[in-house]
Structure 1
Amino acid sequence: MNYMSPEQVRAKELDTRTDLFSFGIVLYEMATGRVPFRGGSSGLIMDAILNRTPVAPILVNPDIPPALQEVIRRALEKDINLRYQHAADMRVELQRLKRDIDSGQRPAEEETGSVLIPTPSYLYSTDKRRARTPSVGTAALRQRRVSKIIDSLAVLPFENASGDPEREYLSDGITGSLINVLATVPKLRVMAQSTAFRYKGREIDPQAIGRELNVRAVLTGRIVQGGGSLRIWTELVDVATGCQLWGAQYNRKPSDIFVVQDEISNEISGKLRLKLSRAERKRLTRHHTQNAEAYGLYLMGRHHWNRWSEEGFYKAIEYFQQAVEKDPSYALAYTGLADSYVLLGWNSYLPPKEAFPKGKAAAMTALQLDPDLAEAHTSLAALLWLHDWQWEEAETRFKRSLELSPTYPTANHWYAEYVMTMGRQGEAIATVKNGHELDPLSLIINVAVGWAFYLARRYGEAIEQLRRTIELDPNYPVTYWILGLVLRKTSSYELAITEGERGVKLSGGSPLMRAALAHTLGAAGRTKEAFQMLDDLTKLAKQKYVAPYFFAGVHIGLGENDRAMEYLEKSYEEHSHWLIYLQIDPSMDGLRDNPRFQDLSRRVSLPALMAAIPT
């Protein structure tokens, strides 16, 4: 797996250039003692091969000649047309390099940072242990070099060392807060929280994880709270050398949590030699509240929100509400309220008219308290888009949020979804891929890439992406839901049914996934089973909210287009956000020539949709 080329991963046609890529991997391993594309699962390895640039060999082994690094770089080009086209070309460059070394000539030098790369002394030795273990002098040289060019960081989940699961919110919350603060530093790439938290509960090897994530430094920590004290241990590790850049221990009162976070942020920026302006330093120590109790309640709210479940969103609302009661000026807590209502509505746990207006009120309050809060602009943008259908104003808000916080993962994800519904599929795919670079291990972002391909009708790429997501986590139900939709459109009905059934089971019987499966059963001709699921959904709708749009899909699968239109009209009456997908949802294709469908589309008034409707 580690030696595969991008075209092998994509199951495309192969030629000799594939072998040159694999040989480049072997060269990289000989020069550094490790393979360039690593991961804890086959899915992570495939993602690295397709999407990630490996750590420069010279940062792992400073004795590598620049000319050899260039050979490796060309061999590992992901674009097959930019790679070496013939083995003879590669052999000539390697022979020239060997000639220079054998004759005692110094190969062409390059600079990395401010330190010249030294002449190799043992690169071509057959003793791999020696190649992996440079001398003390070399290690010192490496540390001097890389300390000047560390420009990427992963903050791994701080360990809750108290042994009390009820304190988990604190260790998670402090980790998330540090990620959010450090992400504001210019020219420092910080791994997003959902990617970092994929390592929660695992044995931590900072170097190995740093290499998997392709970052130059890793911050780890442990937290114990109890007996009126808050103790935190932290360590910042250089991924290239394994050296500790900085470490500290804090023993404070819980109310000093803000001071501790400020000290950690400032120490990291100092150890990474980041040159910050006064305004940037001020952002590092910005507090959204001075009330430690309100902050703790906010962290508890985010802890539940990050569970991405109906129960989690309701619990989050309880804690966010308590936080604003403790501190009525706490804008970020109002944003938490807004985000909770956004997802209760977006996931159809509540009717649109119950969820979205409450979210909008909270977002507006947040912006009144802090007009420059990126998170609040994102929340309001989502509500203007999903419920108010104010397309231009929503885009303005999304762009303002990204201007204030370009790396905010939620803004990048939701804006990509917005762009999809505007019919700008090429831009949407580019935007969601950018979000994936910021948050490569996030399940929802990985699924969003597959969703974007599905809506763009690029079904092969959608299947490929969703299969990779299953490698990341085989128990995430949303992946199977979308995979079932894609397979249905390719007429692979039995496979679609199998994946749909997995989604239903893993989700605990989600109405959305049950409706999608019933649609597929109907389209596959298994109408008896489809009608049974429809009857079950009808009974469920008497107990809890089930979106009319879901029923419309089931009736399309059964060929009952008039009944489908009745439910779409009900969706319009409740101002359902599902209607903003009308012009791009492949499951609606059977209705596109229906005059009633075209009339409904005009009333929704999406820009791209209006351009496509015949007049």
Structure 2
Amino acid sequence: GPFQFDLQTRELRNRGLRVKLRPQSIEVLAALAERHGELVTREELRDRLWPGALYGDFDNGLNSAVNRLREALGDQGAEPRYIETVARRGYRFIHEVARTQLGPPQPIRLVVLPFENLSGDPGEEYFCEGLAGELTYALTHLPGLHVIARSSALALKGQAFDVREIGRRLGVSVVVEGAVQRSANRLRVTVSLIDAGDASHLWSGRFDRDSSDVFLIQDETANAVVGALRMTLLEGETARLVKRHTESVVAFEHYLKGRWLWGQRTPQAVARAKACFEDALQADPKSACTHAALSECYCTSGFLGYLPPGMAFPKARTEAKLALGLDPQLGEAHGALGWVLWAFDWDWEKAEESFLRAEELRPSYAQTRLWHSFLLASVSRFDEALQQIEQAWQLDPLSLVMQCNVAAILHLARRHEAAIERCLRALEMDPDFALGNFHLGRSCLALGQHDQAIPPLEKAAPGFPLAMGALGNAWAKMGRRDKALETLRALECISKDQYVGAIPRFSIYSGLGEQDAAIEQLTLAFDAHEGVVPIFNVDPILDSVRDDPRVKALLRRLKLPRRAPAVV
């Protein structure tokens, strides 16, 4: 069941949430639980809890204690699930009991749903989602809370799920809902805390302020939610919770819009997000969170090939360092710097130090764990890599990006059937999702299922050079040289309008068996420090040329740590 009772500490928890009960009710529960399935008489309870009390006082006290306990357990006297009354004799605890050695209380799993826009202006959506995102961000810094990532919450937007269904889908015990109404001069935010087990309201609050007091509403909302969860915060953690990104309302609005756009991950949206963060920094150059967000934007652009790596990653480094200069405790800035150190500098030791520091400061941030998993997989530490990416997915369970990156790590670990299963699970939610189709096609190629790789890669290919390269490779391995060369010409065509790295061309030439041309492109990729190069130590894409001395020389340039055996 959902309840845990610690006999030593006398704490009752419901799905991780502490249930407040008076001492007499707690002691009745302890007495019944200790003798699960046995009758505990009223006399025994009197001797244990009310020694020396008059009969009337004891009788009323015991009845009240049992009623409060039943209410807390959601039990009905007529049809009991937990406490059975034996008329005129006593009580029996009838629910199944699993006796376990309890460790520290498990973190409360919580999700902040997108706030509803009551303003009637679709242009306010980014502001409503931004406020919910900021509350999510604040709560991730607190020990004892396991906060579901914002992208999984956004996946539920517009869907009429019951709170209990949301709890089951995300594995959470608490759901935070909210609504925002903004007019020219006034801002109203309402927030509710709901038990995902039975949909009961644990707490609700309404905050009305002048529209310029958005920061005050943020602080009040976050602190009220924490208070409602009855969590005890250390002084430093309280300060961290209410720390603001900026004191500028203009900068804050640009920041919110940038985060909203960056979450979409398309080339156009990431470019617009970058412009929003730059506008925010014009209004407030000392916002550490905005510098970190801009760094992440450049990391995304460099890795996905939206910008040349020699342009994107140095800018990502600069912004991450500016962020850390302003706030050395900012976890996402340490994570972004770790990604630059791994993907562009190939500095394995310093990259992992940055990732570990980021996870220490902000353990609920899924993006850092995703990035860390790629470093671990690249040095053949596959068990650790899978543990990290699974944690990232659990933090963001409805994210197609996370689900597909679990598949990517499985692919690097040569567990292709499991990778395909993950991709198919993601594609059930969105059959056109490019990243899912790309990784599905790659794993089919690794298994030699070239004909099955074609359809998903054709879906992923438009505007996605890495997928175009994999598609050309699949056509070549099917003996369709004409189609492979047609894909190569298409790559050259789109390179006039967007950056196209050397790796897609390498994929096609290696599929065609043109080893010299393939290694020439691979050398260009290493020279440019293209973002995916560090995974080539283990990536099946290199298998056709891995034994070539020129390729072995390229892999030595990665300066792999000694504990990182190359794939043979």
The TM-score normalised by the length of structure 2 is 0.81
Give the C-alpha shift of residue 165 in structure 1: 2.0
> Which residues in structure 2 correspond to 1:31-180 (within 5 Å)?
122=79, 151-180=108-137
In 2: Cα distance, 1:478 partner to 1:499 partner: 10
Are 1:338 and 1:362, in contact at CA under 8 Å, matched by a contact in 2?
yes
Aligned residue among 461, 468, 473 for 1:514: 468
* Letter matched to residue 526 of structure 2: Y
CA–CA distance in structure 2, aligned partners of residues 120 and 491 of structure 1? 63
Report the Cα distance in structure 1 between the residues aligned to 2:391 and 2:200, rounded to whole angstroms.
31
The equivalent of 1:307 in structure 2 is 264
CA deviation vs aligned residue, 1:278-304 (integer Å, no higher than 9, x gap): 222222211121112211111111111
Deviations 1:80-117 (A, max 9, x none): xxxxxxxxxxxxxxxxx9xx69x9999xxxxxxx9697
**Aligned to 2:192, what secondary structure does the other structure show?**
strand
Checking the alignment, whether the CA contact within 8 Å between 2:303 and 2:530 is kept in structure 1 is no
- 2:186 matched to which residue of 1? 229
Which among 179, 182, 188 is matched to residue 145 of structure 2?
A: 188
CA distance in 1, matches of 2:142, 2:567: 46
Structure 1 residue 427: Cα displacement: 1.0
Question: Residues 589 and 439 from structure 1, CA distance in 2 versus in 1: closer, same or farther, beyond 3 angstroms?
Answer: same
Alpha-carbon separation, structure 1, partners of 2:179 and 2:214: 14
Paired amino acid for 2:542: M
Q: Using the alignment, how far apart are the partners of 2:486 and 2:451 within structure 1? A: 18
Compute the displacement of 1:509 (Å).
Answer: 3.2
Partner of 2:288: 331
Which residue of the partner structure matches residue 419 of structure 1? Answer: 376
For 1:611 and 1:425, the matched residues in 2 are separated by 12
Query: Equivalent residues in 2 for 1:572-611 (5 A)?
Result: 572-607=526-561, 611=565
Cα 1:149–1:489, aligned 2, differ >3 Å: closer, same or farther?
closer
Matching residue's letter, 1:430: Q
Q: Which moved more, 1:240-249 or 1:523-532?
A: 240-249
Identity among equivalent pairs (%): 34
Matched residue, 1:88: none
How do 1:192-271 residues align onto structure 2 when only pairs under 5 Å count? Answer: 192-271=149-228
In the alignment, which residue of structure 2 is the partner of 1:287?
Answer: 244
Using the TM superposition, name which of 202-211 and 229-238 deviates more.
202-211
- Over the aligned positions, Cα root-mean-square deviation in angstroms equals 3.0
Flag structure 1 segments of 5+ consecutive residues without an equivalent: 1-27, 33-53, 60-65, 71-96, 107-113, 126-147
Question: What is the CA-CA distance between 1:609 and the residue it aligns to?
Answer: 9.0
Matches of 1:380 and 1:303, distance apart in 2: 22
Q: What is the Cα deviation at residue 611 of structure 1?
A: 4.2
Counterpart CA distance in 1 for 2:559 and 2:324 is 28
1:119 CA displacement:
9.7
The letter of the residue matching 2:434 is: P
Name the structure 2 match of 1:560.
Answer: 514
Give the aligned residue type for 1:517: L
Aligned CA distance change for structure 1 residues 194 and 543 (closer, same or farther; 3 Å): closer
Tell me by how many angstroms 1:214 deviates.
Answer: 2.2
**Distance 1:602-1:121 versus aligned 2 partners, 3 A rule:** same
Q: Partners of 1:196 and 1:610 in 2: how far apart? A: 37
Contact 1:422 1:608 in 2 (8 A): no
Secondary structure of the corresponding residue to residue 179 of structure 2: strand
Residues 285 and 524 of structure 1: CA distance in aligned 2, closer, same or farther (over 3 Å): same
Which residue number corresponds to residue 297 of structure 1? Answer: 254
Corresponding letter in the other structure for 1:539: C
For 2:550 and 2:558, the matched residues in 1 are separated by 13
Amino acid at match of 2:249: A
Q: Counterpart of 1:437?
A: 394
Q: Which residue of 2 aligns with 1:529?
A: 483
Distance 2:223 2:329 in 1: 23
Amino acid at match of 2:127: L
Three-state SS of the structure 2 residue aligned to 1:251 is strand
Helix, strand or coil for the counterpart of 1:457?
A: coil
Q: In the TM superposition, what is the alpha-carbon distance from 1:180 to its structure 2 partner?
A: 0.9
Aligned to 1:472: 429
- Equivalent AA in structure 1 for residue 128 of structure 2: S
Q: Which amino acid aligns with 2:393?
A: H
SS in 1 for 2:190: strand
Partner in structure 2 of residue 364 of structure 1: 321
In 2, Cα distance between the equivalents of 1:150 and 1:610? Answer: 34
In 2, the alpha carbon distance for the partners of 1:524 and 1:608 equals 38
1:380–1:394: 8 Å Cα contact kept in structure 2? Answer: yes
1:299 and 1:409 mapped to 2: Cα distance?
A: 19
User: Where does structure 2 lack aligned partners over 5 or more consecutive residues?
Assistant: 4-13, 20-28, 43-67, 83-104
CA contact (8 A) 2:141 2:361 kept: no
Offset of residue 306 of structure 1? 0.9
**2:356 matched to 1:392?**
no
Deviation at 1:606, TM superposition (A): 2.1
From the superposition, tell whether residues 431 and 124 of structure 1 become closer, same or farther in structure 2 (CA, over 3 Å).
closer
Q: Which has the larger radius of gyration?
A: 2
Structure 1 residues 316-354: Cα deviation after superposition (integer angstroms, max 9, x where no partner): 111111111111211111111111111111001111111
More helix by share: 1
SS of equivalent to 1:547: coil
Residue identity opposite 1:289 in structure 2: T
CA distance in 2: counterparts of 1:150 and 1:543, whole angstroms: 48
- Equivalent of residue 448 in structure 1, options 399, 402, 405: 405
Specify the SS of the correspondent of 1:565.
helix
Q: Give the number of aligned pairs.
A: 496
